[in-house]
Structure 1
Amino acid sequence: MVDVLYSLVDVTQRFDQLIFDPFYIHNLDMTSMMMKSFYDCNYSIEDKVLDRICKNILPRIHYQINELIIEQNSIERVLHTINYPQLYSLSLMDFTEEVLLKYLTDNTTLRRLLDEQITCLKLDFKYDTTLSISETSSIMFALILSLCKRLVKLNFYEFYERSRICTFEISSMNCTSSTLTELVINIETFDDCLYLLDGRLNCLSKLIINIQEIANTIGTIDNTVKKLPKLKQFSLMSYRRTACYDNLIIPLLRRMINLEELLLFLSIITEENYIDGIQLYDSILIYMPQLNKFSFSIDTCIAVHNIEFALSSNEDIQRSFIRKEYGSVYSQVEIFPREYKRRCTSCSLPYRFESRCHIYSLPYQFKMLFFLNNSFQGSLFNNV
C-alpha cells in the first residue's frame, strides 16, 4: 500500500483522482516488511517515503481512513501529523515491550484514540530470544482494557512466533471489559484461561488462546458449575503434552453450552485408550447442541503401565468418526518398539509411552504437526 501511494501520487491528475478517491482508500498500511529470518522481520519504511507520505498524502486522505497499520519507528510522524476522525481499527507492528508500554502510559495522542475511537486493536512485538513469560505484557493487557472504552476486538499477538506470554497471577491486576467480544492471546497456564472466563470479560463471544502449559491448577476459580452461554467460538492450542485432559479440558468445554465453532490442538498423555470420535462425542460434543464447526488435531500418547485392555486399531478409530459432525478425519496409530520406550525414559520425560495416535480433521487447519514419520500422507495437505 505504501509503495503504491509513493510511486503513483502526483504522477498525473487521473492517477491522483483514483488514488485519493474516498471510495477506494479506507485502509492504510504504513509498513513494508523485510524478512531477515523466520523470526526477525523489519517493518520500517524508508525515511524519504515516510516524509513524502506524511507531507503530501496523509493531509489529503486522513478524514477517510478507517484502518491504520503502523510500526514503531513511524508512529510519531503518522499519529501526530494529523487527526483521523473515522479511524476505528489500529495495528501496532514490530514494537518492543518497553516502547509500547511507554506509549500506552504517556502518549496523549495514542491514549485519546484508544479511549475515544478504537474498536479493533492488534499488537505485534519484536522478536526477542530473551523474553517468554512477560509481566510487562500482562500489565499492558490490563492497561489496554482500562483505556479502550469502545474496544470490541483485541488481538494481543499478530504472529505466534513473536508473541509474549501473559500471566494473571499478579493479584493487583484488574483486567475487566464490558465491551470486548473477541480476544486472541497467548497465556502461561490453564489458570490464566479460567481467569479470563470468570466473568470479567462479560461480553466475550470469541476466544482464541495458546496455553504454554496445561497442568493442574491452583483451584481458586471454579471450572465446573458456571456455564459460558455467550461464548460462540473457542480455540484452544497447546504444544506441550498434558495429562490434564479429563480433569481440566473436558470440564471447561462442557461449560460452553452455546458454542458454534470449536478448534483444538492438543497432545494428551493418558493411561486409557486413544481419543477417538466416540470419546469426543460422549465427552464434549453432546454438550454443545449449537456446534456447527469442529476442527482438531489431537495426539494421544499412551503411558506405559499395566495396560489391561486392547488398544484400538487405526480401523477402529476411523469407524468411530462416522457421525456427520466430523466430516473427513485422518488417523494414524504408532506402536513404539521397546528400545524407543527406553530412550524416552533416558531423555528425562515424565512418562514412558507404549504407543500414540494422531487424529485430525481435514482440511488441516494448523501450522504444526505432531505426528511425522515414514507413513506421513503428504497428499492430504495443500502446503507442506
Structure 2
Amino acid sequence: MVDVLYSLVDINERFNRLIFNPLYIYNLDMTIITTKLIFRHSLSIDNQILDRICEDVLPRIRHHVNKLTLEPNSMERILYSFNYSQLYSLSLVDFQEEMLLQYLTEGDTILRNLLAEQITDLTIDIHIKLISPPLSKTLSNIFVSILSICKRLNHLNFCQLSNYRCLSIEIYNLSLTSCMSSTLRTLIINVETFNDCLCLLDGRLQCLSTLIIHVEDISIASSTIDNTKKLLKLKHFSLISFNRTDKYDNFVVPLLRRMINLEELKLYLSILRINSTYVNGVQLYDDILIYMPRLKKFYFCIEASVYNKDIRIDLPSNEDIQNSFMQRGYGPIGSYIQPILIERGIKLHITNNKPQKEKQKSSTLIIFRHLVILDLIDAHIDYAEQFLFDKNIHLPRLLYLRIRYESLRMVTNNFTNDEARLTCGKLKYLEIHEPFVRPKNFHEYFPVL
C-alpha cells in the first residue's frame, strides 16, 4: 500500500481517482512487511517516501481512513500530524514492549486520546526478540493500560499475530479493579496458565462474547476461582494449548459446561489420560456438547496419550508426514512425533527425553517439504541429531528452531561440525530460554539470525 501511494499519486487524474477512492483507502496499511510463511516483521518506511506521503497523500485522505496499521518508527509522524476523524480500527505492529508501554502511560499523548475516544478495534503485535522469555510483566502492564484507556473498545487482538512464538501474559496476579472492561466483546490473547483463562471469564469483562485463547500450561487451577458459574454471554470460544495436559477432565470439561449459550466451539488440545488413548464422539457429547443446546459449529483437534505406555499419535492427512513415518517406518521416533497444522505451515513438536535404543537409518532421504517450525525443547539429543543432520532428513523450509542450548552445543560440536551446518544456516529464528554466552563462531553457524 505504501509503495502504491508513493509511486502513483499525481501521475494523472485517472490514477488519482483510483488511489483516492474511499473504498480503496479506508484500510490504510503504513508498514512494509518482510513476511515469509508465518513470520511477520516490519521495516521502517524510507524517509523520502514518508515525506511525500505526509505532504501529498495523507492530507487528502485522512477523513476517509477507517483502519490504520502503523509501525513504531513512523507512527508519530503519521498519527500525530493529522486528525483521522473516521478512524476506529488501529493496528500497532512490531513495537518494543517498553516503548509501547511508555506511549500508553506517560502524558496526554495523541495515541492515548485516540484510544480513549475513537478506537473500537485494536491489534497489538509486539516485536519478538531473538532470545527472550515468553512471559513478560511489561505485557501485562500494557494489557491493563489498554483496558483502562480504551473506553469504546469492542475487539482486542493482543499479541497473536506471530502465531507460534507466543508472548504470554499473566491475568491471575492482576487485580480485578485494574483489569476490567464494560465494552470489550471479542478478545484474542495468549496467557500463561489455566488460572489466567478462568480469570478472564470471572466477570471482569462484562460483555465478552468471543474468547480466542492460547493457554501455555493447563496444569494448575486455583480453588479460589469459581469454575461453576454459567457464562451466559459467551457465544464463541476457542481454546488452544500445544503442551500436553492431564487436566482435561478436571479443568477443561467443567469450564466448557458453563458455556450454555455457546454457538461456536474450537478445541486444539494435547491431553494425557489414564485409561484411554482417544476422546471419541460419545465422550464429547456426554461430557460437553449436551450442555450446549445452541451450539452450531464445533471444530476440534485433540491428541490423546496414555500414561506408562508408548505414546500413540493419530497423524493428520499430510503426505510428507505419512510417507516419512507411517509408510517408511522410520526408526523409533514415529510414535513420539506431534505434528500440528497451523495457519500457514507445519510445526513438529517431538516429546521424548529418553535416548533412542536403536538409531535406525532410512535408505531413502526423507524430505519434509512444508515443515517450518521444529520444537525439540522436550527431546533427547538423539532426536536433535536426527533432524538437524542433513543425512537422512532434509528440511528445505525450516525457519524456526526451539531447543535447549546444551543439546544444540553438543549436536553441533560447539558450532563447528558440518553435518548440521546446512540446516542451521537457514534458520531465521532460534528460541533458547536459558542464558548463554555466544561463542565467536556462533554467528557464522547461524548467518541469517
TM-score by length of 2: 0.68
Distance 1:271 1:37 in 2: 38
Q: How far did 1:163 drift?
A: 4.0
Counterpart of 2:440?
Answer: none
Counterpart of 2:224?
Answer: 220
Of residues 215, 227, 230 in structure 1, which corresponds to 2:233? Answer: 230
Counterpart of 2:146?
Answer: 144
Question: What amino acid maps onto 1:303 in structure 2?
Answer: Y
Indicate conservation of the 8 Å contact 2:339/2:349, yes or no: no
Distance 2:73 2:258 in 1: 44
Counterpart of 2:292?
Answer: 288
Q: How does 1:126-165 map to 2 (within 5 A)?
A: 126-128=127-129, 129-157=131-159, 158-165=161-168
1:280 alignment partner, SS class? helix
Indicate conservation of the 8 Å contact 1:229/1:258, yes or no: yes
Counterpart of 2:382?
Answer: none
Q: How far did 1:283 drift?
A: 0.6
Aligned length: 338
Q: How far did 1:177 drift?
A: 0.4
Q: How far did 1:18 drift?
A: 2.2
TM-score by length of 1: 0.79
Which moved further from structure 2: 99-108 or 233-242? 99-108
1:130 alignment partner, SS class? coil
Q: How far did 1:37 drift?
A: 9.2
Counterpart of 2:282?
Answer: 278
1:74 alignment partner, SS class? helix
Counterpart of 1:352?
Answer: none
Calculate percent identity across the aligned residue pairs. Answer: 51
2:32 alignment partner, SS class? coil
Indicate conservation of the 8 Å contact 2:38/2:162, yes or no: no
User: For the structure 1 residues 169 and 230, does the alpha-carbon distance in structure 2 shift closer, same or farther, using more than 3 Å as the test?
Assistant: closer
Indicate conservation of the 8 Å contact 2:188/2:212, yes or no: yes
Question: C-alpha offsets along residues 347-367 of structure 1, whole Å, 9 cap, x if unaligned?
Answer: xxxxxxxx899999xx99785
1:96 matched to 2:99? The reply is no
Question: What amino acid maps onto 2:94 in structure 1?
Answer: D
Q: How does 1:13-162 map to 2 (within 5 A)?
A: 13-35=13-35, 39=39, 41-106=41-106, 108-128=109-129, 129-157=131-159, 158-162=161-165
Indicate conservation of the 8 Å contact 2:38/2:345, yes or no: no
Distance 2:231 2:306 in 1: 32
Counterpart of 2:421?
Answer: none
Q: How far did 1:169 drift?
A: 3.4
Q: How far did 1:168 drift?
A: 1.9
Question: C-alpha offsets along residues 128-155 of structure 1, whole Å, 9 cap, x if unaligned?
Answer: 1213101110111011001000000000
Question: What amino acid maps onto 1:295 in structure 2?
Answer: Y
Distance 2:99 2:162 in 1: 19
User: For the structure 1 residues 70 and 366, does the alpha-carbon distance in structure 2 shift closer, same or farther, using more than 3 Å as the test?
Assistant: closer
Question: What amino acid maps onto 2:182 in structure 1?
Answer: S
2:68 alignment partner, SS class? strand
1:245 matched to 2:248? The reply is yes
Counterpart of 2:186?
Answer: 182
2:113 alignment partner, SS class? helix
Distance 1:248 1:195 in 2: 13
Q: How far did 1:172 drift?
A: 4.3
Which moved further from structure 2: 99-108 or 190-199? 99-108
User: For the structure 1 residues 45 and 261, does the alpha-carbon distance in structure 2 shift closer, same or farther, using more than 3 Å as the test?
Assistant: same
Counterpart of 1:298?
Answer: 302
1:24 alignment partner, SS class? helix
2:80 alignment partner, SS class? helix
1:160 alignment partner, SS class? coil
Question: C-alpha offsets along residues 38-90 of structure 1, whole Å, 9 cap, x if unaligned?
Answer: 65723322121111101110000001110000001111100111110000000
Question: What amino acid maps onto 1:143 in structure 2?
Answer: S
Indicate conservation of the 8 Å contact 2:339/2:347, yes or no: no
Alignment RMSD: 3.4
Distance 1:89 1:223 in 2: 34
Counterpart of 1:4?
Answer: 4
1:267 matched to 2:270? The reply is yes
User: For the structure 1 residues 364 and 278, does the alpha-carbon distance in structure 2 shift closer, same or farther, using more than 3 Å as the test?
Assistant: farther
1:300 alignment partner, SS class? strand
Distance 2:52 2:74 in 1: 13
Distance 2:348 2:307 in 1: 17
Distance 1:111 1:223 in 2: 35
Indicate conservation of the 8 Å contact 1:133/1:188, yes or no: yes
Distance 1:365 1:36 in 2: 13
Structure 1, unaligned stretches of length 5 or more? 306-311, 315-333, 344-354, 379-383
Indicate conservation of the 8 Å contact 1:297/1:359, yes or no: no
